[in-house]
Chains A and B, each alone.
Chain A
Amino acid sequence: MKRRRFIRNLALGSASLPFVSNGFGMQAIRQKLFNFSTGAEDRVLVMIRLNGGNDGLNTVVPIDQYANLMIHRSEIILPQNQLLTVTPEVGFHPQMQGMKDLFDQGKLSVVQNVGYPDQNRSHFRSMDIWTSGSLDVNETRGWLGRYFDSYNPTYPSGYPNASYPDPFAISMGSEVTATCQGIAANFSHAVSNPNNAVNLYQGGFSNDGSYYGNHVEFVGTIIEQTNSFGQVIHSAAQAGNSLSALYDPTNTLATQLKYVAQMISGGLKTKVYVLSLGGFDTHDNQADATNLQAGTHAGLLKKVSDAIAAFQDDLQLLGLEQRVVGMTFSEFGRQIESNASLGTDHGDAAPLFLFGTCIQSGIIGPNPTIASALPDQAGIPMQVDFRDVYASLLRDWFQVPSNEVQQLFSHQVQFYSLAGTCNVGNEEIPVAEEKILIYPNPTPSNIFIKVNLAEGMATAEVRDVNGATVRQVFNQHYSDGLHTIPCDLEGLPAGTYFLTVINAGRTRVEKVVKTKN
């Protein structure tokens, strides 16, 4: 945790410079010795959408701007002495104790002043921009949809399959998420409760090429996917666990995050979970007139804060902290000046939160500057383009090569170091082209395989000393580059095994020893 304290208050010099340089010197070497990092194949991104436009100024309060905030929003401003101060310049809303604790533990960060150029204050257009990751009105795909499309161009035809038995993304609730809209279909699978088994009647159908025929094929595919994905999700939920006592059963967001923890711990390989909480369009009664720390906005932030704190606690208890990072997003912030209804109208940029042990913790970027006199309808100007946050997560967290990330976006991407602190292990251990690195080795149960793969299909198997295959590790398409892939040896008798990786006409073999556990 000490390492994180050093980097807590990183000032953002200008939007065109990266926040921090990579490399942590001695600290990184310590990481390498004591902390095996997981590879991108095993990683999960959790996105929480705060629907309606969250009032950033009453969420992450710039304490050094308090006097001028008082001029513009005295009706709703939070009492300064009630703020949860996380740094001398920044205070969280009093209801956000859970997130404040995470911040103190180095598991939460705030990226300040996130938005996009020429802010559109329409909820609908702005949410389209956030979900598509593009300012182009003709872009109908989501940013994650483009990412998934790039290596699954035929989806949904032929999915799920042996290489991809699990949904790419799960949207908690009864709607799929626009972030995962691909060319032909949406990559997200809606799940309201993973503990419910699904077995729907599956009839035959054909597509006559008309609108109707295309719909028939779409619905037929959904039914098939509901059954097959439903089965793996249900099995994962049955196999999975949730250990935290902090989840409040009346908090819908907390319940959904609990299901997410359960599915991840049950072994589901879904990479993205999207959750949503509505009610942030606080044009009125944002704060309670008689008690400004209470009211609609306070209730919403408490839900978010409690839920994330419980989820992070659960991940720690489940030993999954290194596999999950999360972020919040909202379509815009709100205007600096409050209105007469104890509320605020649509504005521009706002802070967003990242959480997890692998994130760059701290306050990233400076507080917004609030002038004493403002033009009508003033919002917070954007400094960080949200598309660069997405791009940086793809690079840092899913380890998509930066040139491939750039291809997913139409603007010139500016990368920031946001979620790469667990990558130090990966970067420090070089792997020669002809080698496979296995660690820990010997092992009581699980190993990580580090290997350089060429673009294309790759298979890996564990064979015993007689050459019989005892476990299939993977058989799927990989991108070019270094991959870290987890492999479960649980259940195999103690002894010597050989791990074989076949890719691009090359076969590599490495010995692995399993000890008694």
Chain B
Amino acid sequence: MSLVPYNGPWTRAEAAHLLRRTIFGPTHQQIGAIANLSMQDAVNQLLTVGNVSPPLAYDAGETVVPQGQTWVNALYPANPVSNQLCEMARVKSLTAWLMKNINYQSMDISQKMLFFWQNHFGVAFSSDARATYSYLELLRTQGLGNVKQLVKDVTINPAMLMFLNGNTNSVQHPNENYSRELLELFTIGKSDQIAPGDYSTYTEMDVAAGAKILSGYVVNGLRSSTLTAAQALFVSFLHDNSTKTLSYHFANASITNGGANEFANYIDVIFQQPEVATYLCTKLYRFFVNYELTNEVETNIIPGMVQTMLANNYDVSPVLFDLFTSQHFYDVALRGSIVRSPLENVFSLFNATESQINVNLATDYNIYLNMYFAASNMGLDFINPSSVAGWEAFYLAPAFSRLWINSTTIKFRFDLSTGLFVFGIPINGYTLKIDTIPFLNNLSLPSSADAVISDICELFIPKPVDASTHSDLVNILTNNLPTFEWTLQYNDYLNNPSNPTFVDPVRYRVQLVLDRVFKMPQSQMF
């Protein structure tokens, strides 16, 4: 039972929905480009991961590599104070770079998949920026690949070993932190507690056995002045060599001593349980489609995704291809069914207005760092998920994505909009304000007030707006004058493209419209 393919009309509306769910803040032209492809070609393009270049040194605290070069394979200073300052510089560079990648995203799903996996594994910052960088690159580059392999790679990744104490889990003193979350959150998921210590899919006995199986790994080279990367090392005398027996949920499987590779054998056993596919597909569904699992979703959609996942031995890409070409995905009832996370909010603002930051290296990184803080203030600190379960908005019933919005965070959203469209935000001597002229010129018919508002609503509001909302926005654009006045004003600007007398009012009216749009409840969904 795989998913029923979508065979309705393929228009800008469907293209916009697909793009809103798979990239951050699609532009007017990107929607057009996707609408001009076939649905299959469009989805295939979105499922092809592009490249990004590594983060660059820009801050004075970086004393090992010159500004403008990357530090991801560099040593740290031996002096403890310089070491600390260097790390701070690298963390700033790393966090800014993460935002830059979203701002300069290629037209593929990789940034959303990185977000998905960052939420899935919930790994917080590791204390070595190089380790966190390579961990995040693992998620970004392998996010559409084989999830069984990804779980294996993540298990012994230095960032994860440090995060859930795998690096101190030894035969002498097992530490259950990772073994519990591996089952509960990363693979099979838990269900009702049906007996003491029995969570329907695994038991406390499996948690204890898992800690023994996973024992023996340590992390070496953290912020080292002699090693260019943090490394995971297997130390055999720290490993529990006994034969471990799993619970009846895993057919009482025995895991014999496998040394450095024993953890992988264990993960293979876990992935033999089809509940793993159900757990993962449910998470993918909730992230990309809707939080509510209706009867239809549970009986048709999730099982269809599971079938594809199992048929492809846990590859993610085929599952998402089926989902993004399915009839269900394009159901009008699901448009706008998710409240924008802070990242979607910030980058809807920058990306859909075609505002790619390009001043100079240090200023760009500082601006991106501020974007990072903006999202952080709204509740999403990207390199430090709220907990190992990720952000509550992705799992906590019944509110789910509504948890992004409350009296504190909505005020941040409004303030950010006012700052970027009306007042400008001073950042290290540069005033960041969104220039709406290039954005306007790329719309379908900039000289028509009605067309401008229709295009803007298509970009930022997931469902058509009613006539009175449309006319309210037109009135902001025209300053309550007849619409032909806008046409005249725009044409005056075209004839005098460098004369502020004609350029500034046009730019300003569009800024006011966008500021209003970002303060409408309707634009908080995608």
Contacts and interface: CB of A to CB of B under 8 A. Distances in A.
Contacts of A284: 165, 168, 175
A450 B509 CA distance: 60
A419 B402 CA distance: 35
B336 A346 contact: no
Given A124-B389, A192-B408, A283-B177, A216 B525 contact: yes
Given A211-B336, A212-B336, A346-B180, A340 B407 contact: no
A174 B409 contact: yes
Given A121-B180, A201-B519, A215-B336, A340 B402 contact: no
Given A175-B403, A181-B398, A230-B407, A206 B389 contact: no
Interface size class of B (residues with CB under 8 A): 35 or more
Contact of A176 (B170, B185, B196, B403): B403
Contact of A189 (B165, B396, B407, B466): B407
Contact of A376 (B208, B333, B389, B397): B208
A124 B168 contact: no
Interface stretch (A221-229, A441-449, A476-484): A221-229
Interface string B159-185: 000001100111011111100100011
Interface in A162-210: 171, 173-176, 178, 181, 186, 189-192, 198, 200-201, 203-206, 208, 210
B519 A216 contact: no
Give the residue among A121, A210, A211, A229 with the most B Cβ atoms within 10 A: A211
B507 to A, nearest CB: 21
Contacts of B407: 189-191, 198, 222, 225-226, 229-230
Given A176-B406, A212-B462, A226 B175 contact: no
A343 B165 contact: yes
A377 B211 CA distance: 12
A201 B516 contact: yes
B463 interface: yes
B193 A340 contact: no
Give the residue among B208, B339, B407 with the most A Cβ atoms within 10 A: B407
Interface residues of A, number: 54
Given A173-B408, A189-B406, A206-B466, A339 B414 contact: no
A174 B177 contact: no
A219 B165 contact: no
B335 A212 contact: yes
A419 B298 CA distance: 46
A208 B465 CA distance: 11
B410 interface: yes
B334 interface: yes
Interface string A85-128: 00000000000000000000000000000000010111111000
A60 to B, nearest CB: 24
Contacts of A186: 399, 406
B193 A120 contact: yes
B388 A123 contact: yes
A355 B360 CA distance: 55
A192 B378 CA distance: 11
Contacts of B516: 201, 203
Contacts of B468: 204
A218 B207 CA distance: 40
A173 B392 CA distance: 15
B377 interface: yes
Contacts of A124: 184-185, 387, 389, 395
A137 interface: yes
B366 interface: no
Contact of B522 (A175, A216, A340): A216
Interface in A410-434: none
Contacts, number: 159
A459 interface: no
Contacts of A121: 180, 204, 207
Nearest to B179: A345
B60 interface: no
A178 B396 contact: yes
Interface in B310-348: 333-337, 339
Give the residue among A137, A198, A210, A345 with the most B Cβ atoms within 10 A: A345
Interface string B513-526: 00010011110110
A123 B387 contact: yes
Contact of B414 (A181, A201, A205, A229): A201
Interface string A217-255: 111101101100110000000000000000000000000
Contacts of A212: 335-337, 462-463, 525
A122 B175 CA distance: 15
A341 interface: yes
A219 B389 contact: no
Contacts of A190: 406-409
Contact of B521 (A191, A203, A210, A211): A203
Interface in B94-145: none
A219 B405 contact: yes
Contacts of A340: 168-170, 172-175
A343 B379 CA distance: 29
Nearest to A186: B399
Contacts of A125: 190, 193
B397 A200 contact: no
Contacts of B174: 339-340
B525 A215 contact: yes
Contacts of B333: 210-211
A140 interface: yes
B408 A345 contact: no
A223 B414 CA distance: 10
B289 to A, nearest CB: 11
Contacts of B296: none
Interface string A52-82: 0000000000000000000000000000000
B411 interface: yes
Nearest to B192: A137
B290 interface: yes
Contacts of B377: 174
B173 A175 contact: no
Given A120-B193, A176-B403, A340-B170, A220 B521 contact: yes
Contacts of A346: 176, 180
Nearest to B415: A200
A407 B207 CA distance: 37
B389 A341 contact: no
26 contacts: A122-B180, A123-B387, A124-B184, A137-B192, A173-B408, A178-B396, A189-B406, A201-B519, A210-B337, A210-B463, A211-B290, A211-B333, A212-B337, A215-B339, A215-B402, A220-B521, A222-B405, A222-B407, A229-B407, A339-B168, A339-B175, A340-B168, A341-B169, A345-B177, A346-B180, A377-B204
Interface of A: 118, 120-125, 137, 140, 171, 173-176, 178, 181, 186, 189-192, 198, 200-201, 203-206, 208, 210-212, 215-220, 222-223, 225-226, 229-230, 283-284, 339-341, 343, 345-346, 376-377
Given A203-B521, A212-B462, 12 more contacts: A120-B199, A123-B388, A174-B379, A175-B379, A198-B411, A219-B339, A222-B407, A283-B177, A284-B168, A339-B168, A339-B173, A341-B169
